[in-house]
């Protein structure tokens, strides 16, 4: 009986497999689809590396990453960065805290290190790993104490088609603001709370940017997973993936928190639950605040830009507090359109800060004494119908956007840019002693894009 050599046998096997499984109905050969379980499988090599903060950005930095469960103990190494390739000789090693996460397609270990006692205004290099498997060296910079000149990037919902269509937005934003101090995500990072492949897409879209520029995320409704009893809870991915401050209300740690970056107080809130509890906490936070700039961020908007998507309870619960303490900016998502107010918005509270019955938006009853600018934006490709209000200075539909916000002392500059980097909307806020901010509209302001 005639036999074939090993090479011929392999060729015959490949021919058989291709002929039996890779020929499509059109008669052409196609590569076999890579399934999410294979594409997003964790390995011993670190991935999903992301910088966040749990404490003072001037003196600390947190980093989180993922590996397979084969890596039970992990480390991070950090050194002051300089121009010499031997900077790593002075690196300090820190042991990570490790926790497993079982997902819909795999089980992985997530590791977190908090670098402490850093020097303000200093550039550091770090890497993460174990044994023979280490990430590349990344660099980040701590801000100076009381830093008053910096910029950050704000993203509305990424949520859908993250790998294919949101990735271009975060990368375009980076090309416009490569020295951004942080990236703020106003909820709905993904579409299905417990879908590990979607989380893999989100981390893949940010890639090395996440490892160099810290993120400040808040959860949206799509980070809430539905349980068997019908109630919703925070996704199991949230706390393993991000190390965030635990200075919020009890039980809401890492979803409701504050950060002080230079001369700005950032207040991150969870608009999916316990609005009244957060209102009491917010009041105390703003009472004690000594930073000149205050930015609040959460997912559901105070003033909706989508048809039939009003959040009356949230508005009546939180807006009187924003009014009373003259919050500068409120950055939101959820409505998959764009809308930005001026300094005047419909009155929903008395001058004493007491709640009154809500006055529907769109009426000519304004309170111009508070001076807060409200923004709703979307960075992903999923779009809703636009329902603009007359008090919104700029609106847009069917437009992927990101925002670059820059602070320079008593001046804040805001630019909303499209996915191709074009300025769509802009304004400047200037602090005025004893008065509300001065708002100066930018030279390029489009009132409203096509509704459909």
- pLDDT tens-place string over residues 39-69: 999 999 999 999 999 999 999 999 999 999 9
Whether 278 and 180 map to the same domain: the answer is yes
Whether 227 and 97 map to the same domain: the answer is no
Whether 157 and 291 map to the same domain: the answer is yes
The string of pLDDT tens digits covering residues 214-268 is 999 999 999 999 887 878 899 999 999 999 999 999 999 999 999 999 999 999 9
Q: Is the pLDDT of residue 17 over 70?
A: no
Sign of the CA dihedral 435, 269, 286, 362? positive
Whether 52 and 185 map to the same domain: the answer is no
* In-domain check, residue 428: yes
Whether 253 and 392 map to the same domain: the answer is yes
Whether 54 and 183 map to the same domain: the answer is no
* In-domain check, residue 254: yes
Q: Which is more confidently placed, 442 or 449?
A: 442
Whether 110 and 179 map to the same domain: the answer is no
Give the end of a domain, one of 108, 141, 174: 141
The string of pLDDT tens digits covering residues 283-316 is 999 999 999 999 999 999 999 998 888 999 999 9
- pLDDT for res 443: 73
pLDDT-based confidence at residue 385 (cuts at 50, 70, 90): very high
- pLDDT for res 434: 86
Sign of the CA dihedral 364, 366, 371, 377? negative
Lowest mean pLDDT among 15-24, 257-266, 318-327, 407-416: 15-24
- pLDDT for res 352: 36
Q: Is the pLDDT of residue 346 over 80?
A: yes
Q: Is the pLDDT of residue 11 over 70?
A: no
Whether 328 and 402 map to the same domain: the answer is yes
Q: Is the pLDDT of residue 362 over 80?
A: no
Average pLDDT, rounded, for the chain: 90
Whether 94 and 23 map to the same domain: the answer is no
Whole-number Å distance between alpha carbons of 218 and 267: 10
* In-domain check, residue 450: no
Domain with 78, as residue range(s), is 39-141
Q: How many domains does the chain have?
A: 3
CATH number of the domain encompassing residue 205: 3.60.21.10
Whether 111 and 162 map to the same domain: the answer is no
Whole-number Å distance between alpha carbons of 296 and 183: 14
């Amino acid at each position: 009986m005639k036999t074939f050599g090993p090479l011929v046998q392999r060729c015959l096997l490949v021919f058989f497999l291709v002929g039996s499984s890779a020929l499509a109905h059109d008669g052409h050969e196609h590569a076999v689809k890579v399934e999410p379980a294979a594409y997003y499988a964790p390995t011993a090599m670190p991935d999903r590396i992301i910088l966040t903060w749990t404490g003072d950005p001037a003196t600390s930095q947190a980093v989180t990453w993922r590996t397979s469960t084969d890596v039970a103990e992990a480390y991070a190494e950090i050194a002051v960065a300089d121009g010499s390739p031997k900077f790593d000789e002075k690196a300090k090693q820190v042991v990570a805290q490790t926790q497993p996460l079982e997902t819909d397609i795999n089980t992985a270990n997530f590791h977190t290190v908090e670098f402490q006692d850093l020097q303000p205004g200093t550039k550091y290099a770090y890497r993460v790993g174990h044994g023979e498997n280490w990430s590349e060296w990344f660099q980040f910079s701590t801000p100076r104490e009381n830093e008053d000149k910096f910029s950050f990037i704000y993203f509305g919902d990424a949520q859908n088609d993250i790998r294919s269509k949101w990735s271009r937005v975060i990368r375009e934003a980076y090309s416009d603001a490569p020295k951004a101090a942080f990236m703020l995500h106003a909820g709905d990072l993904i579409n299905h709370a417990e879908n590990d492949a979607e989380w893999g897409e989100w981390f893949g879209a940010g890639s090395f940017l996440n490892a160099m520029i810290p993120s400040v995320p808040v959860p949206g409704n799509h980070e809430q997973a539905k349980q068997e009893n019908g109630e919703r809870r925070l996704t199991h991915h949230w706390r393993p993936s991000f190390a965030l401050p635990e200075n919020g209300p009890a039980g809401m740690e890492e979803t409701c928190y504050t950060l002080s970056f230079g001369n700005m107080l950032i207040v991150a809130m969870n608009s999916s639950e316990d609005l009244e509890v957060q209102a009491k906490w917010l009041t105390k936070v703003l009472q004690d605040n000594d930073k000149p700039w205050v930015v609040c961020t959460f997912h559901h908007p105070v003033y909706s830009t989508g048809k039939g998507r009003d959040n009356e309870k949230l508005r009546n619960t939180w807006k009187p507090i924003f009014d009373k303490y003259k919050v500068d900016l409120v950055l939101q998502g959820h409505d998959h359109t764009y809308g930005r107010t001026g300094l005047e918005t419909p009155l929903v509270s008395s001058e004493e800060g007491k709640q009154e019955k809500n006055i529907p938006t769109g009426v000519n009853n304004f309170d111009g004494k508070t001076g807060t600018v409200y923004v709703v934006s979307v960075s992903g490709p999923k779009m809703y119908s636009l329902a603009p209000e007359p008090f919104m200075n700029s609106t847009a539909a069917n437009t992927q956007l990101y925002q670059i916000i820059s602070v320079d002392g008593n001046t804040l500059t805001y630019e909303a840019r499209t996915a191709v980097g074009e300025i769509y909307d802009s304004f400047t806020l200037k602090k005025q002693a004893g008065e509300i901010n001065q708002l100066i509209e930018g030279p390029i302001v489009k009132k409203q894009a096509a509704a459909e």
